[in-house]
Structure 1
Amino acid sequence: MNVWEARWLRAFHMLFYACLALGLVLSFGEDAGPGPVSLGLLALLAGWHWFFVLRRPHLLGRLHPMAFHLAVLCALYVALVLTDRSFDVVIFGLMPQPYLMLSTPWSYAGAVATILCTFAARGYLDDPDALWRLAGSCGLVVAIGLFVAYVLRQSAQNKTVGVLEERARLAREIHDTLAQGLSGIITQLEAAEQAMPDEQGRPDLPAVRRRIALAKELARDNLQEARRSVDALRPGPLQEAHLDAALAQVAERWSRTSEVSATVTVEGTSRPLTAEVGATLLRAAQEGLSNAAKHARADRVAITLTYMDDEVTLDVFDDGTGFDPGAQGSGYGLAAMRERARGVGGTLTVESAPGEGTALCLRIPSN
């Protein structure tokens, strides 16, 4: 039972006892006041609910013994109203109890039984139109129960969708931080390994030290990104820099580690962006650079950030080997980028062909 369910349960229990108290107040307003029988039935009704329902939340929803306890509460309510009509208001606290105490479909049967008890206590069963009034009241109570059940199902479905969306978000964060960072570390260590001496050669120690230093730098940055992802914070470069500067920082670091030229151009008038839009644009640039390093074998990468009146666009172009965008198994990165783009109302297009380089274009409308 989550927090909200516990709060609703507590609220309905409080409603039941509030109706008991209201009936007692109304009874004292009469000339004779409540008699000893009424007070005894009232105490028994309150005590039964407290001991067998309120104190046993783990049994709620079970047909046995909650059906028996509901029957006892209804019988005590009928006896109490027959003794003193001032306690007729208790029905407003008793009506939700079948839906709390019993599971579907027994809760509907319990609600109908409660309506029957109300008609019996008020003496309506002998009226000529009792059947129609009973059918209407039962239909209304069942309709309310069906609506509540529908709302609960929708809430459960929304919760499931939220869990799946959060899993997808975490998958994108892992891909955009851990996977890319580890890939860069592996690339640097492989380069350092190639600079190690063979059986006849001499080692290129400066190159080894430089590659190891870059691998350590990538590891530190990746660790910081992982911590930020866990804390659901903005991407690291955006923490202390504007998007334009963050893109330049990412491109400069990527150029040092990959030894491939990467340039950043900003067109239009720069303006503040929301955290989610900024993160989406930055992640798209990182993914484009990562793909260029791993697959494209490019000599140059150009990143262009364009501010327009109605949208912001990010273009990432490399002069590498290219690929077929329609081919199967193009990797998780493009799928993650499209999911991010849809999350902020944007679109991602990929133009590429074998031997002709790759161009990624992310368009996000301005709010």
Structure 2
Amino acid sequence: MTSWIRWQDSLWPSPGEGDSPWRPWSGRIEKFLPYALLALSTVLSLLLSGSDPAVTLGLVGIAAVWLLLTFTLLPERWAEHPVVVAASFAGLVTIAAVLEGHETIFLIFMITGFFDAMRLRPAPLALAGIFVVSALINTMPDGGPLRAFAEQPALWTVITLVQTAAVGGGGLASAAMARQHAERKRVLDELAAAQEENAVLQRQLLSQAREAGVLDERQRLSQEIHDTLAQGFTGIITQLEAADEAKSDPVEWQRHVGSAMALARENLTAARRSVRALGPQPLAGATLPDALDEVSRLWSGRTGVEVRFTTTGTSRALHPEIEATLLRITQEALANVEKHAAATIVGLTLSYMADQVTVDVRDDGRGFEPGTARPAGDSGFGVPGMRARVARLAGTLHLESEPGGGTAVSANLPALEVRP
């Protein structure tokens, strides 16, 4: 039943079914074909037949009026009502049968009945209508269906059934083509909608990526400023405060002032270079072990805290971002030792492994309880900044400390080597 309904709807859509893919041509056929076939039959009859033209034209006039009243001029709200369609079909087939009985050439007009039958509802009634039209179109020239089926029932039954199956099969094939066309159109519409949605999402993602990139760059700049200028100024302030406390000792005072001046010059140079490139200056033209050795030596000379630097494994050139991150973490860890630990010895170890590289900074200072609030005056870029740097490169940061037991910071990153 469902397939027959689809067949009817696809091959001969109702006026309200404007979205049917067959509507452009089926609408025109539905509107003009009955009149065209009637006119063609009439012209051929007048040219070829010897019958009284007045009778022929009278019957043709009745057929035309019936088409106008029940089809063309019928209000749209009634056009597809099953009762109206059945009445229209019955009248059309009756008039066409009379015309064909009068003149055989009007079997051309009878073809209209096949199309009108396809509008019948429900589907079995449409099939019955096709059967009736087939029987009339084949038997009217031989005296009508009653006489033909009475004289040769097997012959006319087979002919009618075959023609009914052919017309119905054509309808089903047309319905299948219509469904395929509609499905393709639906898929294309969905694909177009999906592409438009993807384009919108892509624009949103690009916008979000730009915003994230701006935020990430701001965070990076903040960390660079903290790791260069802020640390330098902290060291200068520390040396100047120590010099102020050593006013009574000219030698000690001079040592702290000299350290402050040296640190200021170093910080100024680093700031100028950072403005140009924002890169970790100790790595410029140096390997990571050499850069860490220089940083620890300068820090030790400034603070008076011994630094024991060692390297394990086979050193090799790593990706610049990896080396820069390890350098910055070392600088931040040493800055935290200077500000908070009151340590006497710091151990700094750079370890190269097969697929990882690690920096460990350990001190023998006062330590603290992990998880407690940061000491007053902490800028907030210490441990959180180190964690953020490591996380961006898929690494890990471990912090161990206890009151009176010193602190250990370990940063582990993937050992991504430089590819030629």
TM range (shorter): 0.5 to 0.7
Cα distance in 2, alignment partners of residues 179 and 266 from structure 1? 28
Cα distance in 2, alignment partners of residues 260 and 143 from structure 1? 64
Q: Residue 374 of structure 2 aligns to a residue in which SS?
A: coil
- In structure 2, give the amino acid aligned to 1:264: F
Report whether the alignment pairs 1:181 with 2:226: no
Report whether the alignment pairs 1:357 with 2:406: yes
Select between 173-182 and 347-356 the one with higher mean Cα deviation.
173-182
Residue 113 of structure 1: aligned partner? none
Q: Residue 240 of structure 1 aligns to a residue in which SS?
A: coil
Equivalent position to 1:162, from 213, 225, 239: 213
- In structure 2, give the amino acid aligned to 1:281: L
Instruction: Give the direction of change, closer, same or farther, for the CA distance of 1:145–1:319 in structure 2 (3 Å limit).
Output: same
Equivalent position to 2:24, from 123, 126, 131: 126
Instruction: Give the direction of change, closer, same or farther, for the CA distance of 1:316–1:145 in structure 2 (3 Å limit).
Output: same
**1:293 Cα shift?**
0.8
Equivalent position to 2:270, from 225, 228, 245: 225
The normalised TM-score by structure 2 is 0.53
Higher Cα radius of gyration:
2
**1:137 Cα shift?**
6.2
Residue 196 of structure 2: aligned partner? 145
Instruction: Give the direction of change, closer, same or farther, for the CA distance of 1:148–1:267 in structure 2 (3 Å limit).
Output: same
Equivalent position to 1:271, from 316, 321, 333: 316
List gaps (5 residues or longer) in structure 1. 1-123, 197-202
- In structure 2, give the amino acid aligned to 1:161: A
Residue 334 of structure 2: aligned partner? 289
Cα distance in 2, alignment partners of residues 324 and 166 from structure 1? 32
Alignment of 1:306-345 (within 5 A): 306-329=351-374, 331-345=380-394
Instruction: Give the direction of change, closer, same or farther, for the CA distance of 1:143–1:282 in structure 2 (3 Å limit).
Output: closer
Cα distance in 2, alignment partners of residues 125 and 328 from structure 1? 76
**1:205 Cα shift?**
2.8
- In structure 2, give the amino acid aligned to 1:295: H
**For each residue in 1:306-360, what CA deviation from the matched residue of structure 2 results, as whole angstroms up to 9, or x when unmatched?**
1122211111110000011222336431111111112222111011001100011
Instruction: Give the direction of change, closer, same or farther, for the CA distance of 1:140–1:180 in structure 2 (3 Å limit).
Output: same
Cα distance in 2, alignment partners of residues 241 and 143 from structure 1? 52
Report whether the alignment pairs 1:300 with 2:337: no
**Contact in 2 for aligned 1:234/1:275 (Cα 8 Å):** no
Cα distance in 1, alignment partners of residues 331 and 294 from structure 2? 11
Cα distance in 1, alignment partners of residues 288 and 394 from structure 2? 19
**1:136 Cα shift?**
6.5
**For each residue in 1:233-259, what CA deviation from the matched residue of structure 2 results, as whole angstroms up to 9, or x when unmatched?**
431111132111111111111112111
Residue 305 of structure 2: aligned partner? 260
Q: Residue 291 of structure 1 aligns to a residue in which SS?
A: helix
List gaps (5 residues or longer) in structure 2. 1-21, 27-177
- In structure 1, give the amino acid aligned to 2:346: V
**Contact in 2 for aligned 1:317/1:360 (Cα 8 Å):** yes
Select between 309-318 and 330-339 the one with higher mean Cα deviation.
330-339
Q: Residue 382 of structure 2 aligns to a residue in which SS?
A: helix
- In structure 2, give the amino acid aligned to 1:359: A
**Contact in 1 for aligned 2:224/2:278 (Cα 8 Å):** no
Cα distance in 2, alignment partners of residues 268 and 344 from structure 1? 21
Cα distance in 2, alignment partners of residues 188 and 355 from structure 1? 25
Cα distance in 2, alignment partners of residues 213 and 207 from structure 1? 10
**Cα root mean square deviation, aligned:** 2.5
Over the matched positions of the two proteins, sequence identity in percent amounts to: 46
Number of aligned residue pairs = 240
Instruction: Give the direction of change, closer, same or farther, for the CA distance of 1:363–1:135 in structure 2 (3 Å limit).
Output: closer
The normalised TM-score by structure 1 is 0.60
Moved over 4 A (4+): 128-141
**1:226 Cα shift?**
2.4
- In structure 1, give the amino acid aligned to 2:348: I
